[in-house]
């Protein structure tokens, strides 16, 4: 079929950078769970966090004299295609943030995933950060990139954004210069992190270099000294969704569309860092009585590193018995994890009702109400 028309106007939209920026049209987004659709740990339950992960891949740090919860909510900007947002709700106030204190939302990235940024070369890429935000508190906030080089030294570049209307969704677009002098370490450990500050003490702002769009070492330029303090009232909250991190420089009019992943794709990517399973059954063998018996389980996705294991709930074990009960409820007393592939042994407590004769016997275990977690976050 012959082409009858070439639509040059649409071919030359702002979606095509006018420099030699690397394009990733078919790649997954750099950001994880930017739509906030995934919350394996707490679902939609508002959870008090001082330092830990909330929605998948999103860490929250609240290091003040106050307190705050993080929740997955259905409060979203209209007409943008988002169904969920991350909500920080202040639950205990601190109107005077000490020098060493801060509140921030963080996502960390493996260095090996960001070699595309070509840091440490004259071709270092700019990065465009975009997100939708709604807050009760107007004013200046800080968004910071912090990368770690091959030698393990961290460099920060902090930009500010302003929320001008309280309780109103706004889209922000920030362009970070690349670091031509320092690389990003090419490993499965942290190579870059994104931080959004909701409150920050002077130890992190005293350098006065925030918003210079340049890279410095140390912690004194982590944020702007003008950053708001969200922690002044329990009426204060902060919503965030639709986060993009794009290679190259874009404006609000040239920004590529948000890549809406399927729930399954989003879940599969996030499971490299955290995976929770419930409702499983397993078979095992054991000999003797009143001993710990082990049952093997596996996580579904290979992890970034050998993961930490945790378990909640109990296991009902069934076994042959010629008299009395043939089942009992066991608790998991230990977890051993062999490698990043997540091969895991659950050690269950003693079986008072198990057969008294010697030899091996089979165990069928019902853990449909238990939850196993593997954590390999950065």
Partner 1 sequence: MNNIKSVKQLANNGEQGDNMLILIDNQDNKLFVPKDEENRHYQAILQWVADGNTIQEAD
Interface residues toward partner 1, by CB under 8 A: 50-51, 188-189, 292, 294, 304-310, 334-338, 345, 347, 375-378
Q: Please, which residue, 277 or 321, has the CB nearer to partner 1?
A: 277
For the CB of residue 310, give the shortest distance to partner 1 in the complex, in Å: 5
Q: Please, which residue, 27 or 336, has the CB nearer to partner 1?
A: 336
Q: Is 344 helix (H, G, I), strand (E, B) or coil?
A: strand
CA distance 215 to 112: 20
Q: Please, which residue, 56 or 261, has the CB nearer to partner 1?
A: 56
Do residues 193 and 106 touch, judged by C-beta distance below 8 A? yes
Do residues 184 and 120 touch, judged by C-beta distance below 8 A? yes
CA nearest 51: which of 64, 67, 62? 62
For the CB of residue 111, give the shortest distance to partner 1 in the complex, in Å: 12
For the CB of residue 193, give the shortest distance to partner 1 in the complex, in Å: 13
Within 13 A of 228's CA, how many CA atoms are on the CB side? 23
Q: Please, which residue, 22 or 292, has the CB nearer to partner 1?
A: 292
Q: Please, which residue, 188 or 259, has the CB nearer to partner 1?
A: 188
For the CB of residue 311, give the shortest distance to partner 1 in the complex, in Å: 8
For the CB of residue 376, give the shortest distance to partner 1 in the complex, in Å: 7
- Phi-psi category of residue 95: left, alpha or beta, with phi > 0 → left and psi -120 to 50 → alpha: alpha
The residues with which 88 forms a beta bridge, in sequence order, are: 70, 238
For the CB of residue 36, give the shortest distance to partner 1 in the complex, in Å: 22
The residues with which 287 forms a beta bridge, in sequence order, are: 360
CA distance 260 to 82: 9
For the CB of residue 255, give the shortest distance to partner 1 in the complex, in Å: 32
For the CB of residue 72, give the shortest distance to partner 1 in the complex, in Å: 20
Q: Is 373 helix (H, G, I), strand (E, B) or coil?
A: strand
Q: Please, which residue, 107 or 236, has the CB nearer to partner 1?
A: 107
| 55 backbone dihedrals φ, ψ, rounded to 5° | -65, 155
- The 3-class SS string of 263-316 reads HHHHHHHHCCCEEEEEEEEEEEEEECCCCCEEEEEECCCCCCCCCEEEEECEEE
Where are any strands of DSSP class E within 15-123?
47-48, 51-53, 59-63, 67-73, 85-92, 102-110
CA distance 240 to 73: 10
Q: Please, which residue, 215 or 274, has the CB nearer to partner 1?
A: 274
For the CB of residue 361, give the shortest distance to partner 1 in the complex, in Å: 19
For the CB of residue 110, give the shortest distance to partner 1 in the complex, in Å: 10
Q: Please, which residue, 12 or 334, has the CB nearer to partner 1?
A: 334
Intra-chain end-to-end CA distance of the chain, in Å: 52
Q: Please, which residue, 188 or 233, has the CB nearer to partner 1?
A: 188
Q: Please, which residue, 43 or 338, has the CB nearer to partner 1?
A: 338
């Amino acid at each position: 079929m012959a082409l009858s028309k070439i639509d040059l106007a649409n071919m030359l939209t702002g979606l095509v950078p006018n420099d030699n920026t690397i394009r990733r049209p078919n790649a997954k987004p750099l950001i994880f769970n930017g739509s906030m659709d995934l919350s394996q740990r707490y679902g939609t339950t508002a959870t008090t966090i001082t330092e830990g992960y909330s929605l998948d891949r999103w860490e929250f740090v609240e290091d003040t004299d106050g307190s705050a919860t993080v929740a997955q909510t259905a409060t979203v900007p209209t007409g943008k295609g988002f169904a969920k947002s991350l909500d920080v709700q202040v639950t205990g106030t601190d109107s005077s943030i000490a020098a060493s204190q801060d509140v921030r939302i963080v996502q960390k990235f493996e260095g090996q995933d960001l070699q595309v940024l070509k840091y440490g070369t004259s071709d270092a890429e700019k990065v465009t950060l975009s997100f939708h935000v709604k807050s009760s508190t107007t004013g200046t906030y800080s968004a910071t990139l912090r990368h770690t080089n091959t030698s393990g030294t961290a460099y920060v570049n902090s930009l500010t954004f302003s929320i001008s209307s309280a309780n109103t969704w706004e889209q922000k677009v920030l362009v970070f210069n690349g670091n031509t002098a320092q690389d990003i370490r090419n490993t499965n450990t942290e190579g870059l992190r994104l931080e959004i500050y909701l409150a920050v003490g002077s130890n992190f702002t005293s350098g006065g270099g925030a918003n210079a769009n340049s890279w410095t070492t140390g912690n004194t330029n982590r944020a702007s000294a003008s950053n708001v303090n969200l922690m002044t009232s329990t009426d204060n909250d902060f919503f965030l969704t639709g986060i993009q991190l794009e290679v190259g420089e874009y404006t609000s009019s040239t920004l590529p569309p948000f890549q809406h992943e399927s729930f399954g794709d989003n879940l599969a990517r996030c499971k490299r860092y955290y995976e929770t399973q419930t409702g499983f059954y397993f078979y095992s063998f054991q000999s003797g009585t009143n001993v710990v018996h082990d049952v093997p389980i596996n996580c579904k996705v290979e992890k970034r590193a050998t993961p930490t294991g945790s378990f909640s709930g109990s296991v009902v074990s069934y076994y042959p018995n010629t008299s009395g009960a043939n089942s009992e409820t066991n608790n998991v007393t230990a977890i051993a994890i062999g490698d990043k592939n997540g091969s895991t042994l659950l050690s269950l407590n003693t079986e008072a009702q198990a057969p008294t004769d010697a030899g091996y016997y089979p165990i069928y275990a019902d853990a449909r109400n238990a939850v196993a977690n593997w954590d390999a976050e950065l």
